[in-house]
Amino acid sequence: MNDEHPSLRTEHWHRVWEEKGLFLNNPDERTKFFVNFPFPYVNGYPHLGHLFSFMRCDVMARYKRLKGFNVLFSQGFHATGQPIVAAAQLVKDRDEKQIALLLQIGIPESDIPLFENPEHWISFFSKAWKEDLKKAGASIDWRRSFITTDINPPFDKFVRWQYNKLQEKGYIVKGSHPVVWCPKAKQPIGDHDRKEGEGVTPEEVTLVKFTDSKGRVYPAMTFRPETVFGVSNMWINPEGEYVEVEVLDQKRKQIWIVSKDCVYSLEMQHFSPKELSSLKGKELLDEELINPVTHDKVPVLPASFVDMSNGTGVVMSVPAHAPYDYVALRDLKKELPIIALIKVSGYGKIPAKDIVERMGIKDQLDPKLKEATKELYKKEHHTGIITEQIKEFEGKSVSEAKEALITQFKEKGFATSYYTLTQPVISRQNARAVVALVDNQYFLNYSNPEWKKLAHECVDKMRFYPEQTRQNYHYTIDWLKDWACARDKGIGTRLPWDEAWLIESLSDSTIYMAYYTIAHYLQNPDHYNIKIEKIGDSFFTYVFLGEGKPSVVAKESGISEDLLQSIREEFLYWYEGGYDFRSSGKDLIQNHLTFSLFHHTALFPKEHWPSGISVNGYILLNNEKMSKSKGNFITFREAIEQYGVDASRFAMAFASDVTLDDANFDTTLALGFNGKLAAMMEFAKDQYGKGREEYKRIDSWFDYVLDQTIDACDKHYNNSETRSAMQVAYFDLSNHLKWYTKRTGGSYNKEVISRCILTQALLLAPVLAHTAEELFELLGQNCLASQAGWPTKKGEALDWMTEREQFISVDLVSRINKVKEMKNLEKISSLTIVQAPKLKFELFDAIKFLLEEKKDFKEILMHLNEKFPEEKKFIAKFLPKVFKEGITNYIKEEEEREILESLLAFLEREYSCKIVLKTASEFGEASTAIPAQPAIVVE
């Protein structure tokens, strides 16, 4: 508990909520709303970043409850995968870094050995999460909480069921896939295990097979197989180490000539190379090779630019389109035929020649060559058109021809596929990585166009917070290729049909939200007399898909038909439209969230597809990135302890609206907010139920403001715009209250001020959950704020005089203050307010009338000038302003008089001086006053 704010009995309210079972929801006649937060991976304490996304859920859940929805909100935990196992192993190995990390987060030294066991990590941190969420006031149905992996049999069975279904429906395929592979560690290396080359991925290229007189194959690696029609010669590095290898390509034995370094790569990509002999590049220079496509004979020439460590060491030369090739030939002074295949606008017949000459490239060592190559490739790929040299594709675009030609070449055995890395990747073990093909992998078939189509359809129907993220999902769906969904290391659920494999962690987390709807049955089986060991696929198929005969399923699962029926109904109730609001960090769009959509479309009928996803940016702490090294990393529990629960919740809610930009947790705000909370409660206690009976214009204005606030706040919460909701319900409303206080001199109308206090408490209740409860108790309300329902509006429109009075009073005060400051007055001794001359009122009347009647600017101008010749100057300046926006200053002289008179008491109080009201004629001098903006004389 926070010293600054002893009046917030957070634990008391947590107990009250729990005792009343406030957040334990069961189906009823209300409309449901399903909120969820992605289950966190339990290898550490929750930190501020988690709290931020989580708060959006909790606020949404609490808001929807106030609005009368039946809200489902629970929280599971995730342990699938390798990190926990790896961390436990590190502890076992007495790894200093890992142990230091645990000590740093406050684990006592004596407990460290416990963390040698992965299960301890899981139980320890899932417990910590639960505690912290409770401390934060999370409105969660804990009956439905669960953890993943086979340590939780019912969930394990649920995931198995899911995979059996996917398999049955053909969404799982077997195949191989390319990975970045470390030859030393003999395993794939992700970005985190790289010393160099982060973000580099395997790229598919084509090996075009040139042959020599002995029938040996020279596989030339290229990204542009279509240019094979324009090959003038081949390049070999004369100093390079080459080998003759026997390989197996497309099930046929062949003899290949490749660089020595290439052999390992070939092996990892299943070409089964057998080294026969080694040779120097020089020895190959006399050869003439046959172009497999054109059957032309081309010479082998030396080139030092041929990279021996990447690719095959054999390069085909296309001087018309490759600046390197063009320059190298020029350097050698060889006259060879140059065949142009691609027309590009802005270039001559031989584009490579053009660009080389334009950039003034001297020789093949010129660094500008790289740039020239890049520019030309890009240009040709995007805008190039095939010439008559390739008859079949004449006039077609390069990208189109390329696709078709690759397939054709492969079919005819002219070429084969190969993977390469476009930039060097160095592993932590200091080895240069290659591309390996991993075989016999199980894949989720995300490349399946039918499946993609369904996913797109799902995205089209959903609501996204913020809306702009919708495109990211469409993009991701198109971009996703098959996903390897099984691992041989770590923990999780085993593939039901091949138990050697574990389901990968992203792949087991796709439709588990549906599990929440029925989790309480399976996670508390004794309570429902359920025997988990009897539960099998038929149970889930019945509950989630409604397939199967209830009597049969009941028998198989050992669950009574009645219970089975209610479980099925509970799922149908909560999962109509899937989940309504899922909030997470934006980094999950590319994987988890899109996976979730894919799987829903694969397994469920449309009525259970998800309805809403919200994502947010990262959280900054005082506008700085949180990081452990900077020492500004704070956990959930630290924040709550330091700033108090509701102050933290407020700072979180105020950290950002729905946007992808970074949010900011402002500790000054959080710290300072406790005082504000105390003041708010103090005020409520002092003022609630007190005040005068008389209902004045200013009261009706404030009633109107309250209504406006309720509407605005409603809209913001509904859009998950927590920052704006706080802005409106706390800051803006507080400022309006200040004005109301000023205008009334603290003599409030009883009804109005009481309504204000309760309304503000309720509007803030989704965020300031504990404060709202305190207030409700303090004010003797006979229900909990959490259950009170959304505040009701009075529903009266702002009447004309009230609105005018508001306009005039605000304007007067600001002008008086300005003058007071300008004249450097300590205190005002006399204040004279002068109404505008009669003529001005008449003029405004005329303007108003004309604006309503006529639409033409010129016409109005002429009319007015005619009628008020002495006001020509004023009209010229004033009219354009009011022409389109209407006349805001309009008021009748006697109305203004009445309003000014009614404001006298307020102004006298405000400035403690005598105030005189005068008409223009009484005052005498010409004044700047216009209607609704009387002149002021301050002394």
636-695 residues in contact with RNA (CB under 7 A) are 656-657, 659-662, 664, 666, 668-669, 672, 675-676, 679
- The nearer residue to RNA, 312 or 806, going by C-beta atoms, is 806
Cα–Cα distance, 104 to 98 (Å, whole number):
10
C-alpha torsion angle, residues 265, 266, 270, 275 (rounded to 10) = -130
Which member of 126, 164, 727, 786 binds RNA (CB under 7 A)? 727
Site for RNA in 485-504 (CB under 7 A): 485, 487, 490, 504
Verify binding: residue 937, RNA, rule CB under 7 A. Answer: yes
Closest of 690, 684, 703 to residue 792, by C-alpha: 703
- The nearer residue to RNA, 679 or 916, going by C-beta atoms, is 679
Which member of 6, 108, 199, 360 binds RNA (CB under 7 A)? 199
| Stretch touching RNA by CB under 7 A, among 114-122, 295-303, 584-592, 635-643 | 584-592
- The nearer residue to RNA, 479 or 695, going by C-beta atoms, is 479
- The nearer residue to RNA, 508 or 537, going by C-beta atoms, is 508
Alpha helices in 721-768 (DSSP H): 722-726, 733-744, 750-764
Verify binding: residue 377, RNA, rule CB under 7 A. Answer: no
| Stretch touching RNA by CB under 7 A, among 28-36, 139-147, 531-539, 727-735 | 727-735
Verify binding: residue 370, RNA, rule CB under 7 A. Answer: no
Smallest distance, RNA to C-beta of residue 353, A: 24
Smallest distance, RNA to C-beta of residue 646, A: 15
Which member of 31, 468, 551, 747 binds RNA (CB under 7 A)? 468
Identify the three-state secondary structure at position 172.
strand
**Contacts by 528-535, CB closer than 8 A, 24 or more apart:** 528/559, 528/563, 530/557, 530/558, 530/559, 530/563, 531/558, 532/153, 532/154, 532/157, 533/153, 534/558, 534/559, 535/154, 535/157
Q: List strand residue ranges (DSSP E) for 779-922, in order.
A: 830-834, 914-918
| Stretch touching RNA by CB under 7 A, among 164-172, 183-191, 706-714, 774-782 | 183-191
| Stretch touching RNA by CB under 7 A, among 187-195, 272-280, 411-419, 642-650 | 187-195
**202-211/217-222 β-pairing:** antiparallel
Site for RNA in 4-43 (CB under 7 A): 41, 43
Q: List strand residue ranges (DSSP E) for 51-116, in order.
A: 70-74
Which member of 94, 105, 479, 800 binds RNA (CB under 7 A)? 479
| Stretch touching RNA by CB under 7 A, among 129-137, 245-253, 480-488, 748-756 | 480-488
Verify binding: residue 201, RNA, rule CB under 7 A. Answer: yes
Element (H, E) at 871: none
Q: Which residue has the tokens 């899109």?
A: 594
Which member of 866, 885, 894, 925 binds RNA (CB under 7 A)? 885
Cα–Cα distance, 528 to 490 (Å, whole number):
33
Smallest distance, RNA to C-beta of residue 828, A: 12
Element (H, E) at 8: none
Smallest distance, RNA to C-beta of residue 475, A: 4
CB atoms within 10 A of CB 489: 11
Smallest distance, RNA to C-beta of residue 668, A: 4
Cα–Cα distance, 872 to 876 (Å, whole number):
6
Cα–Cα distance, 293 to 288 (Å, whole number):
15
Which member of 106, 190, 631, 795 binds RNA (CB under 7 A)? 190
| Stretch touching RNA by CB under 7 A, among 18-26, 118-126, 336-344, 583-591 | 583-591
Cα–Cα distance, 186 to 180 (Å, whole number):
11
Site for RNA in 58-87 (CB under 7 A): 78, 80-83
Which member of 452, 592, 743, 863 binds RNA (CB under 7 A)? 592
- The nearer residue to RNA, 423 or 551, going by C-beta atoms, is 423
Between the two ends of the chain, the Cα-to-Cα distance in Å is: 53
Structure tokens at 634: 């704070």
> Taking a C-beta distance cutoff of 8 angstroms, is the pair 651, 677 a contact?
no
| Stretch touching RNA by CB under 7 A, among 16-24, 493-501, 732-740, 894-902 | 732-740
Site for RNA in 541-580 (CB under 7 A): none
- The nearer residue to RNA, 68 or 675, going by C-beta atoms, is 675
> Taking a C-beta distance cutoff of 8 angstroms, is the pair 447, 594 a contact?
no
> Taking a C-beta distance cutoff of 8 angstroms, is the pair 812, 804 a contact?
no
How many Cα atoms sit within 13 Å of 788 on the Cβ side? 25
Which member of 731, 799, 855, 909 binds RNA (CB under 7 A)? 731
How many Cα atoms sit within 13 Å of 656 on the Cβ side? 23
Burial state string for 449-482 with b = 16 or more CB within 10 A and e = fewer than 16:
eebbebbeebbeebebbbeebeebbeebbeebeb
Closest of 701, 732, 929 to residue 815, by C-alpha: 929
Q: Please tell me the count of residues contacting RNA according to CB under 7 A.
A: 80
Cα–Cα distance, 284 to 234 (Å, whole number):
11
Smallest distance, RNA to C-beta of residue 336, A: 32
Burial state string for 637-672 with b = 16 or more CB within 10 A and e = fewer than 16:
bebbeebbbbbbbbbbbbbbbbbbeebbbbbebbbe
Verify binding: residue 430, RNA, rule CB under 7 A. Answer: no
Smallest distance, RNA to C-beta of residue 445, A: 12
Smallest distance, RNA to C-beta of residue 757, A: 16
Smallest distance, RNA to C-beta of residue 490, A: 5
Smallest distance, RNA to C-beta of residue 935, A: 6
Site for RNA in 807-866 (CB under 7 A): 807, 814-815, 817-819, 821-822
Which member of 70, 265, 505, 583 binds RNA (CB under 7 A)? 505
Cα–Cα distance, 262 to 242 (Å, whole number):
9
> Taking a C-beta distance cutoff of 8 angstroms, is the pair 81, 41 a contact?
yes
Element (H, E) at 368: helix 368-383
Verify binding: residue 938, RNA, rule CB under 7 A. Answer: yes
| Stretch touching RNA by CB under 7 A, among 396-404, 421-429, 725-733, 901-909 | 725-733
The dihedral of CA 204, 210, 214, 215: what is its sign? positive
> Taking a C-beta distance cutoff of 8 angstroms, is the pair 401, 395 a contact?
no
Going residue by residue from 606 to 635, which x/- string records binding to RNA, judged by CB under 7 A? -----------------x------------
Q: Kindly give, in sequence order, each residue whose CB lies less than 8 Å from that of residue 739, ignoring residues fewer than 6 positions away.
A: 810
Smallest distance, RNA to C-beta of residue 522, A: 22
Site for RNA in 431-450 (CB under 7 A): 446
Cα–Cα distance, 651 to 841 (Å, whole number):
50
Verify binding: residue 422, RNA, rule CB under 7 A. Answer: no
- The nearer residue to RNA, 8 or 220, going by C-beta atoms, is 8
Going residue by residue from 149 to 178, which x/- string records binding to RNA, judged by CB under 7 A? ----------------------------x-
**914-918/830-834 β-pairing:** parallel
- The nearer residue to RNA, 541 or 591, going by C-beta atoms, is 591
- The nearer residue to RNA, 605 or 886, going by C-beta atoms, is 886
Which member of 472, 611, 749, 771 binds RNA (CB under 7 A)? 472
- The nearer residue to RNA, 110 or 668, going by C-beta atoms, is 668
Cα–Cα distance, 873 to 221 (Å, whole number):
81
- The nearer residue to RNA, 91 or 647, going by C-beta atoms, is 647
